[in-house]
């Protein structure tokens, strides 16, 4: 079995830590968007009960915005995966 030096081991551990940190931001954004959509939906339902009409343009704009954000995040992720596959 090959012996690994302490320097190589430290580099390997640092690389592993960086890999763990990579997905945290995108997971945070996806969770945040879902949470904001739930809050927005609850607020719109409450307003609808109080007023009796729904803000159709606002609803359309909100969900278009959040869907676009998630779509862009997914396309960035796809690009990174494709680049990492090309490295090997």
SS (H, E, C) 44-66: HHHHHHHHCCCCHHHHHHHHHHH
This prediction has a pTM of 0.69
Give residue limits of the domains in the chain: 26-87
Report whether pLDDT(55) > 70: yes
Residue of 27, 34, 19 lying closest to 73 (CA atoms):
27
The per-residue pLDDT for range 2-54, each reduced to its tens digit, is 677 777 778 778 777 776 666 788 889 999 999 999 999 999 999 999 999 99
Structure tokens belonging to residue 68: 């676009």
């Amino acid at each position: 079995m090959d012996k690994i030096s302490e320097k190589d081991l430290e580099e390997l551990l640092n690389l592993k830590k960086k890999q763990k940190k990579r997905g945290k931001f995108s997971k945070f954004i996806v969770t945040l968007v879902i949470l904001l959509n739930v809050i927005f939906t609850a607020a719109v339902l409450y307003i609808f009960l109080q007023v009796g009409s729904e803000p159709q343009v606002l609803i359309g704009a909100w969900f278009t915005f959040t869907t676009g954000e998630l779509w862009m995040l997914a396309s960035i992720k796809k690009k990174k995966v494709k680049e990492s596959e090309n490295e090997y």
